[in-house]
Amino acid sequence: MKSLEINELRTKIKSLAERNRLATTDEERAAVAAEMSTLRSENEQAFTEALEALIKTTADDVQELHGRHIKNN
């Protein structure tokens, strides 16, 4: 999978996750879930790779913030 495709998928997944966090109704959340499902079904392997990359990036960011917090206290 090309890194450009993975980056595009990561951006789309992040956008959908943000929309889901901001959703205030079940209908909004259902619409986001449907879009996420469609995105996943288009290329499940690429979707999984992009999602795993996002999870790793988030974990790295949390670890870095945690390290900063420890240094500051």
d(CA 49, CA 34): 19
Q: What's the pLDDT at 67?
A: 86
- Contact in structure between 69 and 28 (CB atoms under 8 Å): no
- Dist. CA 53–CA 46, nearest whole Å: 10
15 vs 69, which has greater pLDDT?
Answer: 15
Q: What is the pTM of this model?
A: 0.79
For residue 1, what pLDDT band results from cuts at 50, 70 and 90? low
Q: Residue 2: is its pLDDT beyond 90?
A: no
> Tell me: the pLDDT tens digits for 16-33?
999 999 999 999 999 999
Q: What average pLDDT does this structure show over 37-41?
A: 96
Rounded Cα distance between 63 and 36, Å, is 27
* Residue 49: exposure state from Cβ atoms within 10 A (0-12, 13-18, ≥19): middle
